[in-house]
């Protein structure tokens, strides 16, 4: 691999020209990926090339010490522009960044010429041991450059003495969204000075090269082939190319954001002889809102889906902020969450409540499978060899009462002990339709059919809901594990339904 010095930062001006040799443009210079095994993370490649600001902390995407910036297509509807997106470099295969532009903490500034984010972190005491600081800086820089962020900037406000109650919760007077840092962990400094640094940031200067870069298109996807003895990598150019690769390598591992497989690579030494990247396959990156359905491409990241839907599906709007962290959502996909078949994934309970269907595609054609029929056992599904998840289809109209309840040990960036998705229709005080999806209480995500039956056709009143809550406590086959006991999981199911009624019932119904 080519040597890359961290001493002189340089903002990328254009993607590296693809001449057959795979490579990443890092801080304006090219890092060669020739011969890099498919399981090698971007973090490892960066550190091998002298960029040691990004570090491995947890190795599973929970601490953010490995955060870097990637130039991605803008999600705000501005065609031909770029958004600087923070991702976990410890999870994503380096080969999946072929042809893309990356900026590390070293590329933002130097000790002699600090970037505004680095400067605010320094002067406001946002760093002690410094281990986590470069990751915080990169995540903070992504929010610093977020289009529209500075629209909320109050030039007359004193950033050193702000009243947080004067502003939207978790948003600073400068429009900074603290949830941009939800995937970054600090063990020694404490978060107040880091928050102060975030809230003190102004607008990027007119001569800021990274700000100027936003006005040009992000690099086009590159059809990648990286052959290596430890495991080869290929990024498919389109669906036809993808099916051809799967025909040649039926046991290939499919990765998009690699937020699941990347953890296995780091913590379980998982290896694969052939990995296929599907994150930029155009047929998997569509989002269509029609009269009868909403169809979401399987390879769109959760952040992209959230931005493009813009609240159009309220149940998903409640889900997204509770799904891991912004760093993870910038890589994770709905297709990946369903593809693992995990019983504790966060999207299945919501999608079950929405009566979603999975669109499965192969070289022979497509088929729609209701999500309720998709899971067949623990991490097992109806997906056949050579088949991929192309999209998820949500039927319209949506039920007016929707909620996503996640019970976990931490409020954010945690795995569910129990997750519940609700979609309920009440007409004239009577429940005409109830759909409830559950996660974490069985070997697969399930629908709460008995609870739905206990609600439909009956009044949306507290006595009825109490009866249905007793039924809901018996749904599934919850078990004891290190996250929660079976008794606790059952109790949380009943409480979730009571909480939904309390939040949605009229004052007269509450008193019934």
Flag whether pLDDT at 168 surpasses 70.
no
pLDDT at 69: 98
- CATH assignment, 285-395: 3.30.465.10
Query: Are 174 and 199 within 8 A, CB to CB?
Result: yes
Rounded to an integer, the average pLDDT of 50-69 is 97
Tell me the fold of 401-510. Answer: Enolase-like; domain 1 (3.30.390)
| pLDDT > 70 fraction of the chain, expressed in percent and rounded | 91
Flag whether pLDDT at 310 surpasses 90.
yes
The C-alpha atoms of residue 198 and residue 186 are separated, in whole angstroms, by: 15
Flag whether pLDDT at 16 surpasses 70.
no
What is the DSSP code string of 85-136? EEEETTTSBGGGGTT-EEE-HHHH--SSS--HHHHHHHHTT--SS-SSHHHH
Whether the full predicted model's pTM is greater than 0.75, yes or no, is yes
pLDDT at 230: 85
Question: String of b and e for 469-479 (b: at least 16 CB within 10 Å)?
Answer: bebbbebbebe
Flag whether pLDDT at 174 surpasses 90.
yes
Flag whether pLDDT at 8 surpasses 90.
no
Flag whether pLDDT at 195 surpasses 50.
yes
- Could you tell me the residue ranges of all domains in the chain? 23-213, 225-277, 285-395, 401-510
Which pLDDT band holds residue 58 (cuts at 50, 70, 90)? very high
pLDDT in tens, 314-365: 999 999 999 999 999 999 999 999 999 999 999 999 999 999 999 999 999 9
pLDDT in tens, 398-448: 999 999 999 998 877 888 999 999 999 999 999 999 999 999 999 999 999
Tell me the fold of 23-213. Answer: Ubiquitin-like (UB roll) (3.10.20)
Q: Which helix (H) or strand (E) holds 419?
A: strand 418-427
pLDDT at 506: 55
The C-alpha atoms of residue 503 and residue 335 are separated, in whole angstroms, by: 31
Rounded to an integer, the average pLDDT of 299-311 is 96
pLDDT at 152: 52
Rounded to an integer, the average pLDDT of 166-195 is 87
Domains 23-213 and 285-395 share a fold: no
Round the average pLDDT of the chain to a whole number and report it.
Answer: 91
- CATH assignment, 225-277: 3.30.43.10
Higher pLDDT, 458 or 154: 458
Residues pairing with 26 in the sheet: 29, 102
């Amino acid at each position: 691999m080519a040597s890359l010095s961290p001493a002189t930062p340089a903002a990328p001006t254009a993607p590296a020209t693809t001449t057959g040799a795979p490579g990443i443009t890092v801080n304006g210079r090219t890092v060669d990926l020739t011969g890099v095994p498919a399981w090698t993370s971007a973090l490892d490649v960066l550190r091998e090339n002298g960029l040691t600001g990004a570090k491995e902390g947890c190795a599973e995407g929970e601490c953010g010490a490995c955060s870097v910036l990637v130039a991605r297509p803008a999600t705000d509807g501005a065609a031909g522009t770029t958004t600087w997106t923070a991702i976990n470099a410890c999870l994503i295969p380096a080969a999946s960044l072929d042809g893309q532009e990356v900026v590390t903490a070293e590329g933002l500034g130097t000790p002699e010429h600090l970037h505004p984010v680095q400067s605010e972190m320094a002067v406001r005491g946002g760093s002690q041991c410094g281990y986590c600081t470069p990751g915080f800086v990169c995540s903070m820089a992504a929010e610093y450059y977020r289009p529209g962020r500075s629209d909320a900037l109050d030039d007359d406000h004193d950033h050193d003495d702000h009243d947080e109650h004067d502003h939207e919760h978790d948003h600073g007077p400068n429009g900074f969204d603290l949830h941009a840092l939800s995937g970054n962990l600090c063990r020694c400094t404490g978060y107040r000075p880091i928050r102060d640094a975030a809230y003190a940031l102004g607008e990027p200067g007119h001569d800021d090269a990274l700000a100027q870069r936003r006005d040009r298109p992000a690099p086009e996807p590159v059809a990648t082939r990286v052959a290596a003895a430890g495991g080869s990598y290929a990024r498919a150019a389109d669906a036809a190319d993808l099916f051809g690769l799967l025909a040649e390598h039926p046991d290939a591992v499919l990765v998009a954001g690699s937020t699941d497989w990347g953890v296995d690579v780091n913590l379980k030494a998982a290896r694969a002889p052939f990995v296929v990247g599907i994150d930029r396959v155009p047929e998997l990156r569509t989002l269509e809102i029609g009269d009868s359905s909403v169809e979401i491409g399987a390879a769109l990241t959760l952040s992209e889906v959230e931005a493009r839907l813009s609240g159009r599906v309220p149940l998903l709007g409640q889900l997204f902020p509770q799904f891991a962290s912004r760093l993870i959502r910038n890589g994770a996909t709905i297709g990946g969450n369903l593809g693992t078949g995990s019983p504790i994934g966060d999207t299945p309970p919501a999608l079950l409540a929405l009566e979603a269907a999975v669109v499965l595609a192969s070289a022979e054609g497509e088929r729609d499978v209701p999500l309720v029929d998709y899971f067949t056992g623990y991490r097992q599904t109806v997906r056949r060899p050579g088949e991929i998840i192309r999209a998820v289809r949500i039927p319209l109209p949506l039920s007016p009462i929707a909620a996503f309840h996640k019970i976990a040990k931490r409020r954010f960036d945690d795995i569910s002990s129990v997750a519940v998705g609700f979609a309920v229709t009440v007409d004239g005080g009577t429940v005409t339709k109830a759909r409830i999806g559950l996660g974490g209480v069985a070997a697969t995500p399930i629908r709460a059919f008995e609870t739905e039956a206990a609600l439909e056709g009956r009044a949306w009143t507290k006595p009825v809901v109490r009866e249905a809550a007793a039924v809901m406590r018996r749904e599934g086959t919850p078990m004891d594990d290190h996250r929660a006991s079976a008794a606790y999981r059952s109790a949380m199911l009943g409480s979730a339904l009571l909480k939904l009624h309390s939040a949605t019932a009229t004052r007269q119904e509450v008193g019934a």
